[in-house]
Structure 1
Amino acid sequence: MKLKVLSLIALLAGAATGAQAEGQLKIGTEGAYPPWSMADANGAVTGFDADVGNMLCTKLAMECVFVVQAFDGLIPALQAKQFDIIISGMSITADRKKEINFSTGYAELANKVVVAKDSDLAGITEIPALLAALDGHSVGVQAGTTHAHFMEKLAPTATLKSYATLDEMQIDLANGRVDAGFADVSALQSFLDKPEGAGFQFVDVNIISTFDATLGEGVGVGIRQDDTDLKAKIDTALCELIADGSIKASSEKWFKMDISRPCQ
Structure 2
Amino acid sequence: MNKTALLGALTLCAASFLAHADEDSLRIGIEAAYPPFSYKTPEGNVSGFDYDIGNALCEEMKIKCEWVIQEFDGMIPSLKVRKIDAVLSSMSITEDRMKSVDFSKKYYHTPGKFAMKAGNVINDPLVDLKGKKVGVQRSSTYDRFATEQLEKAGVNVVRYGSQNEAFLDLASGRLDATLADIVNTDESFIKTPAGNGFALVGPDINDPKYFGRGAGIAVRKGDSVNTARLNTAIDAIRANGKYQQVMAKYFAFDIYGE
TM-score in same-fold range (> 0.5):
yes
Match of 2:118 in 1: 117
Show the 5 A alignment for 1:46-195: 46-118=47-119, 122-124=120-122, 126=123, 129-155=124-150, 156=152, 157-189=154-186, 190-195=188-193
Distance 2:250 2:143 in 1: 24
Higher strand share: 2
- Normalising by structure 2, we get a TM-score of 0.86
More helix by share: 2
Query: CA 1:154–1:98 in 2, change beyond 3 Å: closer, same or farther?
Result: same
Answer with 1 or 2: which has the greater Rg.
Answer: 2
- 1:32 to partner: Cα distance: 0.5
Between the aligned residues of both structures, percent identity stands at 36
Partner of residue 219, structure 2: 223
Q: Between Structure 1 and Structure 2, how many residues are aligned? A: 237
Partner Cα distance (2:87, 2:155) in 1: 31
Unaligned runs of 5+ in 1: 1-17
Supply the AA of the counterpart residue of 1:235.
Answer: N
Give the distance between the partners of 2:194 and 2:43, measured in 1 at CA.
Answer: 27
CA distance in 1 between partners of 2:196 and 2:184 (Å)? 15
Cα distance in 2 for residues equivalent to 1:200 and 1:26 = 38
Aligned pairs for 1:246-261 (under 5 A) are: 246-261=242-257
Residues of 1 paired with 2:84 and 2:43: CA distance? 19
TM-score normalized with structure 1 length: 0.84
Letter of the structure 2 residue corresponding to residue 195 of structure 1: P
Alignment match of 1:213 (pick from 209, 212, 215): 209
- Quote the residue 1:15 is aligned against: none
Q: State the Cα distance separating 1:22 from its structure 2 match.
A: 5.1
2:215 partner amino acid: V
Q: Distance in 2 between matches of 1:245 and 1:158?
A: 44
- Which whole-Å CA distance do the structure 1 matches of 2:73 and 2:145 have between them? 16
For the residues of structure 1 that align with 2:181 and 2:169, how far apart are their CA atoms?
Answer: 18
